[in-house]
């Protein structure tokens, strides 16, 4: 697609914002897509929701709402748009569909999965419930709709501790992230029965790596996502969901910060916080990175890659997400 003078003029306000993080040669490739997507989404009354791990051209260029998975689920339940495009991974698009069973929800690449979501099936949850009768099931939102259908209440990294405490019980089954389960267990007196899932991005970080980077960067603030291993969380100054981490940077304006999470998030947050220096240990989520501007345009033009689920699954799975959104952050 050609980078015409009309496109340059129309997209210039967006480029001004991100120009420090992106050379003009790269922008000239993205801009025609950004222009076309923004025109088309108005025409079709579509909303583009993007997770914080999307690349800057998506996060700053075309997204109507960028956030963590809790806010994306809440926003999906409120939207007046006819069409929802989820720039994120499959479980996020499914969650948006659960909140909007009568709307079309599209995912630009159906292969955008998640190692946590694929670590457990509905059948696994049914077996756990047999093994631990009457113990409530709390599932991370990073699960399939089939797993959510077997779940009492969902949670995200932003509200996991609050959700577990809200149940007023002594023991819960907490699925599927073993590291998030360990983090929750460290913050509550409720006994946690966990599963063996891990995030393939966050499990790669180590406390040695963090301590080494700290040594070379005096005054560095280290903020970590709770999907990281316990040693990494211990070596950090703050732990929170992706939006919690963004808020930490915005509110504290540290001189130097390292976000121990998916790499694109630092690029996005740096653009909004030009006075903060970011140290970036770069682990990318291959699933999140499957979403690109050409795929978004194709999906919006042809309305392909629709999320479809049976009414029965929607009815059962929706309850566990709704119960979570009522409790909130």
Residues linked to residue 105 through DSSP beta bridges, in sequence order: 84
The b-or-e profile of 6-35 (16+ CB within 10 A means b, else e) is ebbeebeebbeebeeebeeeebeebbbbbb
Which of these ranges, 17-25, 71-79, 95-103, 281-289, lies near ligand SF4 under the rule CB under 6 A? 281-289
220 sits near ligand SF4 (criterion: CB under 6 A): no
Cα–Cα distance measured from residue 85 to residue 100, given in angstroms and rounded to the nearest whole number: 12
Among 99, 116, 172, 258, binds ligand SF4 (CB under 6 A): 116
The residue number with the shortest CB distance to ligand 13P is 68
DSSP secondary structure of 267-315: HHHHHH-TTSEEE---B--TTGGG--HHHHHHHHHHT-SB----HHHHH
Closer by beta carbon to ligand 13P, 125 or else 263: 263
Cα–Cα distance measured from residue 160 to residue 139, given in angstroms and rounded to the nearest whole number: 9
Closer by beta carbon to ligand SF4, 199 or else 317: 199
178 sits near ligand 13P (criterion: CB under 6 A): no
DSSP state of 197: B
264 sits near ligand 13P (criterion: CB under 6 A): no
Radius of gyration of the chain (CA): 20
Which of these ranges, 13-21, 102-110, 114-122, 215-223, lies near ligand SF4 under the rule CB under 6 A? 114-122
89 sits near ligand SF4 (criterion: CB under 6 A): yes
69 sits near ligand 13P (criterion: CB under 6 A): yes
Which of these ranges, 17-25, 62-70, 95-103, 159-167, lies near ligand 13P under the rule CB under 6 A? 62-70
Residue 269's contacts (CB-CB under 8 Å, 6 or more residues apart) are: 245, 246, 249, 259, 278
Q: For ligand SF4, what does the binding mask look like between residues 35 and 74, x meaning CB under 6 A?
A: ----------------------------------------
For ligand 13P, the binding residues in 123-142 under the rule CB under 6 A are 142
Cα–Cα distance measured from residue 270 to residue 72, given in angstroms and rounded to the nearest whole number: 21
Q: Which does 200 bind (CB under 5 to 8 A by kind): ligand 13P, ligand SF4, none?
A: ligand SF4
Which of these ranges, 42-50, 119-127, 208-216, 283-291, lies near ligand SF4 under the rule CB under 6 A? 283-291
115 sits near ligand SF4 (criterion: CB under 6 A): yes
Among 57, 150, 227, 267, binds ligand 13P (CB under 6 A): 227
301's tokens: 């033009």
Q: Determine the longest span between alpha carbons in the chain, in angstroms.
A: 66
Question: For the chain, where are the alpha helices, taking DSSP H only?
Answer: 5-18, 24-43, 56-59, 69-78, 90-99, 122-131, 145-149, 160-166, 178-187, 207-216, 230-234, 242-252, 263-272, 293-302, 311-327
Q: Give me the residues that bind ligand SF4 (CB under 6 A), please.
A: 89, 114-116, 142, 199-201, 227, 262, 285, 287-288
Q: Give me the residues that bind ligand 13P (CB under 6 A), please.
A: 52, 68-70, 142, 156-158, 199, 225, 227, 241-242
């Amino acid at each position: 697609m050609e980078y015409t003078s009309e496109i340059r003029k129309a997209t210039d306000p967006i480029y001004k914002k991100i120009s420090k993080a992106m050379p003009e040669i790269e922008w000239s490739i993205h801009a025609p897509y950004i222009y076309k997507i923004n025109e088309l989404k108005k025409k079709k009354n579509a909303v583009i929701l993007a997770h914080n791990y999307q690349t800057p051209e998506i996060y700053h260029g075309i997204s109507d709402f960028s956030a963590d998975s809790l806010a994306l689920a809440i926003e999906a339940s409120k939207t007046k748009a006819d069409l929802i495009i989820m720039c994120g991974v499959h479980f996020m698009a499914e969650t948006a569909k659960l909140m909007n069973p009568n709307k079309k929800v599209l995912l630009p690449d159906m292969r955008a999965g998640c190692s946590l979501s694929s670590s457990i099936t509905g059948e696994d949850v049914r077996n756990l419930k047999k093994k631990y009768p009457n113990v409530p099931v709390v599932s991370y939102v990073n699960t399939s709709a089939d797993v959510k259908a077997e779940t009492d209440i969902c949670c995200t990294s932003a509200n996991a501790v609050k959700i577990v405490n809200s149940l007023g019980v002594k023991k819960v089954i907490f699925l599927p992230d073993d590291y998030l389960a360990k983090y929750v267990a460290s913050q509550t007196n409720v006994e946690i029965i966990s599963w063996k899932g891990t995030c393939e991005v966050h499990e790669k970080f180590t406390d040695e790596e963090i301590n080494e980077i700290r040594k070379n960067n005096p005054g560095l603030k280290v903020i970590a996502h709770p999907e990281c291993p316990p040693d990494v969380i211990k070596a950090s100054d703050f732990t929170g969901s992706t939006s919690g981490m963004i808020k930490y940077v915005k509110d504290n304006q540290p001189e130097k910060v390292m976000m121990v999470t998916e790499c694109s998030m630092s690029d996005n947050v740096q653009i909004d916080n030009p006075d903060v220096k970011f140290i970036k240990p770069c682990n990318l989520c291959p699933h999140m990175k499957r979403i690109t501007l050409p795929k978004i345009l194709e999906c919006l033009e042809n309305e392909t890659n629709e999320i479809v689920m049976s009414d029965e699954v929607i009815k059962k799975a929706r309850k566990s997400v709704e119960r979570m959104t009522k409790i909130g952050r």
